[in-house]
Amino acid sequence: MTDQAINTGAGRPAVSPQAVVDAARPTGVRQIDYRPDAFNPAPSRRFYFLMMTPSIVLLAGISIYPFIWLIYMSLHTVGEAGQPDVWNDFKNFTRFATDGKFQNGWLLLIKYSAMCMVLEVGLGVLLAVILNRSKLEKFLVTIILMPMMMAPIIAGLVWLFLYNGAFGWYHWLLQSIGILGPTSVLGDSDIAMFGLVAVDVWQWTPLITLITLAGLKRVPQDQLEANMVDGAGPLRNFISVALPNIYPFLLIAVLLRFMDNFRFIDAILILTGGGPADATNMLPVYLFDVSFQYFKLGRGAAVALTLLLVTIVLGMVLVKLFEDPRRKIKVHGREEG
């Protein structure tokens, strides 16, 4: 080795005077505080961007374009059958103030979602806790998740059959128990909402159960044992150890179900179509009617925008939450999949 000396580059200081001043750094280190004269051309990332392009173009086509269209429509009275669209000075929005069905729609949607959520989370978590300790877990879960696999519209039809006032088995069952009067479930404006909630609970409680089970599997065994040693009973154990661990999972589950209630109205459309007497006319159903029954596309677009806005806000919260359990996975260092 001939080149023993430090190669300092042409005429540049080998060590910056800062070296002694900066106490945090180890002493006697050769430092370089100049920058390169020229940079090499940046590497081509075309390979990656080419891979993304088709998806992004397609998604842009089906999201940005419709979104702009939606905004345009919401600001106009959309003419039917070749008539021109007319600017209407935000009338589609200002009429929200006096539109009882719009306000009622939001109220009903929130009421419906809240009822579904309370029942689904209550039942789902209880079931998960029981199944988690069962030897039959795999088998029972397979049965329990069946309703989720069903098309919502088919679920709606089946329940329509069950609720039927003349030959529905659930109608008979409810009357036999004595909690249902002569009117059918969906025909009575006081209880139609509960009828819809039952369908949602039937179909989607398993999702909460599955998510909670996944969360329970991650509760660290040592924490549970430590708590048992400290003298906690199973209930205390669940509340103080398991619950904090599955809480982020539950939050995600609830938000997802909330957003799905905005998205999927298949079952409601077939079961009540918003009736009787608007008792179940939730916002998405109302929106469907405005746009596809009355063809008031401008008004519909304005309603749709309010729905989109709330969805996006919920979505942003959801994405923030996504980060959380993923980090947890790393902390516990468990294998995935």
Partner 1 sequence: MVEVNIQSVWKYYGKTAAVKDLNLKCPENSFLAILGPSGCGKSSTLRMLAGLEHISAGEIFFGAVRVNQLPPKERDIAMVFENYALYPHKTVFENMANPLRLRNVNREEIDKRVRRAAELLQIDMLLDRKPMQLSGGQKQRTAIGRAIVREPKVFLFDEPIAHLDAKLRAHMRGELKHLQRRLETTTIYVTHDQLEAMSMADSIAVMHEGVLQQFGTPSDIYNHPANEWVAGFVGEPPMNFLNCRIEQGTSGVAVVHPSFRLILNDVQRRLLEEKGAEVEVRLGARPDTIAYRPGANSGLDVPAKVYVTEPLGGDMIVEVQLGADRLTVKTKIGPSANLDDPCTIGFDASRVHLFAASNGIAYF
Partner 2 sequence: MASREIAQYPTATRRVLGVATILFVAFYLIWTLLPLLIMFLSSFKDLLDAFQLPATGDWGGAALLFTFEPTTKHYQNLFLDLNFGTYLGNSLIASLGSALVSVVLGSTAAYALSRLDFRGKNDLFFWIISTRMAPVVAVLVPLYAIFRSLDLIGTLPGLILAYTTFNLPFAIWILKGFFDNVPYAIEEAAMCDGSTRLQALRMIMPLVAPGIGAFIVLCVLFGWNDYLFSSIIGSGGAKTLPAATIALVQPQNIQWGSIMAAGAVTTVPMLFLGVLIRRYLVAGLTMGAVRE
What does 172 interact with, of partner 2, partner 1, none (CB < 5 to 8 A by kind)? partner 2
In order of 100, 203, 328, the CA distances from 158 in angstroms are 32, 12, 41
Give the count of alpha carbons within 13 A of 237, CB side only.
18
Closest distance of CB 131 from partner 2, Å: 8
* Shortest CB 21 distance to partner 2, Å: 34
Amino acid at 218: R
Phi-psi region of 242 (alpha: psi -120 to 50; beta: other; left: phi over 0): alpha
Least spacing, CB of residue 5 vs partner 1, in Å: 8
Stretch of 17-25, 34-42, 98-106, 300-308 contacting partner 2, by CB under 8 A: 300-308
List the interface residues with partner 2, window 243-282 (CB under 8 A). Answer: 249, 252-253, 256, 259, 262-266, 270
Contacting partner 2 within 60-79 (CB under 8 A): 61-63, 65-67, 69-70, 73
Cβ nearer to partner 1, comparing 42 with 81:
42
For residue 301, the Cα-to-chain-centroid distance in whole angstroms is: 22
Under the criterion CB under 8 A, does residue 103 sit at the interface with partner 2?
no
Q: Which of 10, 24, 100, 133 binds partner 2 (CB under 8 A)?
A: 133
**80 SS3 class:** coil
47 lies in the binding site for partner 2 (CB under 8 A): yes
- Say which entry of partner 2, partner 1, none residue 62 contacts (CB below 5 to 8 A, set by partner kind): partner 2
Residue 56 interacts with, from partner 1, partner 2, none (CB under 5-8 Å by kind): partner 2
Asked if residue 291 binds partner 2 (CB under 8 A), the reply is: yes
Cβ-Cβ contacts under 8 Å for 298 (sequence gap 6 or more): 73, 74, 75, 76, 77, 78, 85, 88, 92
Task: Check binding of 148 to partner 2 (CB under 8 A).
Answer: yes
Q: Applying CB under 8 A, which residues contact partner 1?
A: 1, 3-7, 9, 14-15, 17, 19-20, 25-32, 34-40, 42-43
Q: How far is the CB of 282 from partner 1 (least distance, A)?
A: 49
Instruction: Give 12 or 138: the residue with its C-beta nearer to partner 2.
Output: 138
DSSP-based three-state secondary structure for 241? helix
Q: Return the number of the residue (19 or 99) whose C-beta is nearest partner 2.
A: 99
Local structure of residue 44 (DSSP, 8 states): P
Cis omega (within 30 of 0) for bond into 13? no
H-only helix segments in 148-265: 152-163, 169-177, 192-217, 221-229, 234-237, 243-263
Alpha-carbon distance of 337 to 334, in angstroms, equals 10
Instruction: Kindly write down the DSSP assignment for every residue of 307-327, as one continuous string.
Output: HHHHHHHHHHHHHHHHHHHHH
CA 82, CA 260: separation in Å to the nearest integer?
35
* 307 forms part of the interface with partner 2 (CB under 8 A): yes
The rounded radius of gyration (Å) of the Cα atoms in the chain is 30
Provide, rounded to whole angstroms, the least separation between the CB of residue 39 and partner 1. Answer: 5
Q: Total residues at the site for partner 2 (CB under 8 A)?
A: 111
Two tokens, residue 114: 């809240």
What x-and-dash track marks residues 208-247 binding partner 2 by CB under 8 A?
A: --xx-xxxxxxx-x--xx--x-----x--x----x-----
